[in-house]
């Protein structure tokens, strides 16, 4: 793995993708090599424009301090609207985000968080394992191929729900890309470009509050283990699912990438989830 000197900024568009197509030149015909051997003829997700994703998150609201914390997971069913993940593999992620809410202006500000992206051959996303084993919903037990830190962001919120489920913009800094997994259309390993700019955008298509949520595996893995039971409940009680305390959300979106000739990296990431980051990450490199 090579030391990277770049920054990644992530734009989170929760309800719709509003960035005009003429504003950004997205990379096309890029690839993720799921076995990391650099051979793009096998076990490779060939992406024409975008990778799709879907996931679940729980958001802890504090109306008194107008703040929120979020924990969640997602997986990628394929790219460009097709279920074309290489057979025997899955692409997953875990994330966290935190920040503050301003009811007077209906805006949210993001302060911190992280995102970890994995490839895995266990095919166990959405499953429940032993509690306190550090595996969250089967989303972080594969090979870590990318990690990002949240550095800030803001956007509109839904005043009826008092949660950051409007149009959000968040900024992220990458701490590494794993060698052998990220490739451009010419077969260049993006982890070896130094310095380089790696620009990724995601178009969100849906964000939904799960008001009748009853998924025991997500309850155990995301709320009790990943989030750490912030309400102090006794398992297997379900956590709150209301505006005042906490909310379950489900969503889906897409992401796109581009390499630009500047010593900074941008990651635009939209998802139906309310924030995007990852906890329990292994940090291979610190930023330069």
pLDDT at site 279? 28
Q: What is the distance between the alpha carbons of residues 15 and 207, in angstroms, rounded to a whole number?
A: 6
Distances (CA, A) of 258 to 57, 60, 131: 27, 34, 39
pLDDT one digit per residue (tens) for the chain, 288 residues: 433 333 322 333 232 223 333 344 677 899 999 999 999 999 999 999 888 988 898 989 888 899 989 899 999 999 999 999 999 999 999 999 899 988 888 777 889 988 899 999 999 999 998 888 999 999 999 999 988 777 777 776 665 554 444 466 666 666 788 999 999 899 989 888 664 445 444 434 355 678 888 999 999 999 999 999 999 999 889 998 887 788 888 877 777 666 655 433 344 444 333 333 332 333 333 333
pLDDT at site 266? 41
pTM of the model: 0.78
Contacts of 9 (CB under 8 A, 6+ apart): 151, 171, 172, 173, 264, 265, 266, 267, 268
Q: What is the distance between the alpha carbons of residues 223 and 60, in angstroms, rounded to a whole number?
A: 10
pLDDT at site 244? 77
pLDDT at site 32? 96
């Amino acid at each position: 793995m090579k030391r990277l000197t770049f920054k990644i900024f992530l734009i989170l568009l929760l309800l719709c993708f509003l960035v005009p197509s003429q504003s950004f030149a997205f990379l096309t015909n890029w690839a993720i090599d799921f076995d990391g051997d650099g051979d793009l003829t096998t076990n490779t997700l060939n992406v024409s424009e975008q990778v799709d994703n879907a996931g679940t998150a729980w958001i802890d609201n504090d109306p008194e301090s107008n703040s929120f914390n979020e924990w969640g997971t997602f997986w990628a069913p394929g790219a460009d609207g097709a279920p074309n993940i290489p057979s025997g593999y899955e692409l997953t992620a875990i994330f966290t985000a935190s920040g503050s809410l301003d009811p007077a202006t209906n805006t949210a500000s993001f302060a911190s968080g992280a995102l970890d992206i994995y490839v895995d051959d266990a095919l166990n996303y959405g499953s429940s394992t032993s509690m306190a084993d550090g595996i969250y919903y089967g989303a972080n037990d594969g090979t870590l191929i990318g990690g990002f830190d949240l550095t800030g962001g803001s956007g509109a919120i839904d005043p009826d729900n008092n949660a950051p489920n409007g149009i959000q913009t968040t900024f992220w800094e990458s701490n590494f890309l794993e060698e052998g997994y990220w490739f451009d259309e010419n077969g260049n390993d993006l982890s070896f470009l130094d310095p380089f700019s790696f620009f990724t955008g995601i178009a969100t298509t849906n964000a939904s509050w799960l008001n009748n949520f009853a998924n025991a595996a997500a309850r155990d893995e995301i709320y009790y283990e990943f989030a750490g039971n912030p309400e102090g409940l006794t398992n297997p009680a379900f956590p709150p699912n209301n505006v005042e305390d906490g909310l379950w959300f489900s969503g889906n979106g897409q992401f796109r990438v581009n390499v630009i000739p500047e010593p900074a990296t941008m990651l635009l990431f939209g998802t139906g989830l309310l924030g995007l980051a990852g906890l329990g990450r292994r940090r291979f490199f610190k930023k330069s």
